[in-house]
Structure 1
Amino acid sequence: MDAMESPVVKNKEDCIPGEVKEALKSLASKWEDVLDANALQVIPLKGAMTNQVFQIKWPTKTEQGSHKVLVRIYGDGVEVFFDRNDEIRTFEFMSKQGQGPRLLGRFSNGRIEEFIHARTLSASDLRDPDVSALIAAKLKEFHGLQMPGPKNVCLWDRLRNWLKTAKSMCPPEEARAVRLDAMEQEISLLEKELSGDQRIGFCHNDLQYGNIMIDEETKAITIIDYEYASYNPFAFDIANHFCEMAADYHTDTPHIMDYSKYPGLEERQRFLHAYLSSSGNQVKDIEVKQLLEDVEKYTLASHLFWALWGIISEHVNKIDFDYMAYARQRFEQYWSRKPQLFSQLSV
């Protein structure tokens, strides 16, 4: 889960390991426009919660020009969340489909990516009706990608695996405070309730504003960072996106979610209509209504997903972010929303 914005400090070449510098210098030496492959400028990018991310620049022969790439150094312990080899395969597939940045190089604990000349969205961009419609259309396209390999829903296995990991890491009092012992039953309850006739597709599973970029000139949307991507119900991906509208990771308290910012009914309907109609089909109101119902129920799965992520991250990640407070908020939302969304279930 990464959110990025503009560079925040000047050259920080000492931030990156020697192995990475050598890989960068080797890469730059092959580019004719770079004046000096050794004259790299390292600029940390703010807001990442899983990885360390840097913009790398070299002066070029053109006046005031520079050649840029992105370096991503993987966070400690994140291999508990996903298989890094799977993520690289996804990254390379997406690149070949023209869906994201090209992979320029790899090193033992990270990679070098093409620098996309587009702007990362801000929290407020998600509320812009025009931008939201562009995101909806792009997400529909994303869901239609034919990723090689099995096309099985990953959500429930992932939740159970993360629960097992969280239980193994949590001290007893911490586990009791967030009712971890109740989660196995809750996951099974959700799976039973939601695993009916579902439309499945290749999902991003982390569609927050920092993972969406826009080209200001062409208005083209690019979805980046595929660490959590897998086959899942479309409704889960959309539900997760709606939940992310309550977040702003670039404040003094980035872990605090403001659920008063969860999109209202008209806003959700507008997004879903844009999503369903983006392929040129006529959309019936009943289709929007049914998808809206599915999406709302999948917000519960999203809350459990990121609550468990927060608990595990508290124990494996050194990035300055209050993961446990974030996890508690997601659990609180789960328990408060569950009776409204599943009134027929025991509370």
Structure 2
Amino acid sequence: MAIKKNGFIPSSAPEELKKVLKAVASEWGDMIQDMEEFHVIPLKGAMTNEVFQINWPTKHGDLHQKVLVRIYGEGVEVFFNRDDEIRTFECMSKHGQGPRLLGRFPDGRIEEFIHARTLSAADLRDPETSALVAAKLREFHNLDMPGPKDVLLWERLRTWLIQAKKLCSPEASKEFGLDTLGGEISLLEKELTQGSQEIGFCHNDLQYGNIMMDEETKAITLIDYEYASFNPVAYDLANHFCEMAANYHTETPHILDYKIYPDMEERRRFISAYLTSSGNEPSDAEVEQLLNDAEKYTLANHLFWGLWGIISGHVNKIDFDYMEYARQRFQQYWLRKPLLLGS
């Protein structure tokens, strides 16, 4: 795929993409004769796919239509089944969640362009915005999605560990301690699944770039469901908290700053807003239990994204230091494990 910079869609772009773009434009009543009429703007922050805004003039001339084109990253089929992800995407649209699917081509798809602002890292720390995100996440978890409601986390971790071992050199495998992680995954599964816990349809990648907000209505939209699956809701909360240590729009987007990981009060406020949004006032005990569960699930989250980083470093060509990112996630795992589970 050759869409790389600001400007017009290049002649080297796949014929299938050109054809689908023209079909979308035609369906909206805009007759596009020349591919030079499509203007391309790369969007930053994606780490699995390449994402572009594509504009073209309407038949009225002074207005422009917009769509979002997503080019699938290389090798990402190891992370999720693309057909399952498309089914989730279409189902979300039917639920009135997220953008509509406008068209597909072999290497990607065309989505409705949502006229809302993508959140920034700083937005997640704003109490009002954070409460809106919490309520939206609760709504997401309660979606009635088709298929079995089985937890996918542990199976996915074991599958990714096998893949990471295949891709790594013996030296790298030793550096990352991959031979010990099978036992760590089993330990976490045993420790974290004791007692009752709520299972919901989880986003599993709720970083700020996957959250959009309409500035006028303050409506929140969650986007990008590639990693979405049924999981313990405490795991999804843990993932969101871990993402607060990241800022993917800096000169070093792979560097995580755990000094800004949300403190106890910030996490408690988010979880209170999350539980209250269902219409019932939670007890202090309910808030504390979910707060405690979420903090323990950060351990599984560090392993999840650590393995993702190793695999991505071998299969993905996006300019991002995946291996250093993985290194930081594993460091946090070993640092936090004795504190959260005891020695």
Shift of 1:12: 4.3
| In 2, Cα distance between equivalents of 1:18 and 1:44 | 19
* CA offset digits 1:19-65 (Å, max 9, x no partner): 21121012212222567574111111112211111111011244631
2:330 maps to 331
TM-score w.r.t. structure 1 length?
Answer: 0.95
Asked whether the equivalents of residues 25 and 37 of structure 1 are also in contact (C-alpha less than 8 Å), the reply is: no
Distance (Å, rounded) in 1 between the aligned partners of 2:31 and 2:249: 33
Cα distance between partner residues in 1 of 2:216 and 2:329: 37
Q: Distance in 2 between matches of 1:260 and 1:18?
A: 48
Mark the CA change 1:12 to 1:341 in structure 2 (over 3 Å): closer, same or farther.
Answer: farther
Question: What amino acid does structure 2 have at the position aligned with 1:228?
Answer: Y
1:214 aligned residue: 213
Q: Contact between 1:207 and 1:244, CA under 8 Å: does it hold in 2?
A: yes
Counterpart in 2 of 1:114?
Answer: 112
Tell me which of 164, 183, 192 is aligned to 1:194: 192
Structure 1 match to 2:126? 128
Moved over 3 A (4+): 33-38, 61-64
Q: Tell whether 2:170 aligns with 1:183.
A: no
- Residue number in structure 2 paired with 1:250: 249
Residue 43 of structure 1 aligns to a residue in which SS? Answer: strand
Which residue in the other structure is 2:9 paired with?
13
Long gaps (5+) in structure 2: none
Distance across 2 between alignment mates of 1:25 and 1:62: 17
Residues 242 and 112 (structure 1), Cα distance of their counterparts in 2 relative to 1, 3 Å cut? same
Q: What is the distance in 1 between the residues matched to 2:66 and 2:213?
A: 18
Please give the residue correspondences for 1:63-78 in structure 2 after superposition, counting only pairs within 5 Å: 64-78=62-76
- Aligned residue among 77, 80, 99 for 1:79: 77
- What is the SS of the residue equivalent to 1:237? helix
- Classify the secondary structure of the residue corresponding to 2:245: coil
Q: Determine the C-alpha separation between the residues in 1 that align with 2:8 and 2:254.
A: 26
Q: Distance in 1 between matches of 2:202 and 2:51?
A: 23
Does the CA-based 8 Å contact 1:28-1:37 persist in structure 2?
no
Alignment partner of 2:151 out of 141, 150, 153: 153
- Deviation of residue 256 (structure 1)? 0.2
Q: Report if the CA contact (8 A) 1:307-1:330 is conserved.
A: yes
Partner residue of 2:56 out of 55, 58, 64: 58
Pairwise CA distance, 1:128: 0.5
Structure 1 unpaired stretches of 5+: 1-7
User: Is the contact between residue 133 and residue 275 of structure 1 (CA under 8 Å) also seen in structure 2?
Assistant: yes
Instruction: Give me the whole-angstrom Cα distance separating, in 2, the residues matched to 1:335 and 1:210.
Output: 27
TM-score by length of 2: 0.96
Cα 1:209–1:34 change in 2 (3 A) is farther
Query: What is the count of residue pairs matched by the alignment?
Result: 337
Pairwise CA RMSD:
1.4
Deviation of 1:16 after TM superposition, in Å, equals 3.5
User: In 2 relative to 1, CA 158–132 (structure 1 residues): closer, same or farther, beyond 3 Å?
Assistant: same
Q: Percent identity?
A: 69
Q: Does 1:174 align with 2:163?
A: no
Partner Cα separation in structure 1 for residue 126 and residue 82 of structure 2: 34
Give the AA of the match of 1:155. L
Matches within 5 A, 1:312-327: 312-327=311-326
Q: What is the CA–CA distance in structure 1 between the aligned matches of 2:62 and 2:204, rounded to whole Å?
A: 39
Q: Once the 2 structures are TM-superposed, how far is the Cα of residue 18 of structure 1 from its aligned partner?
A: 2.6
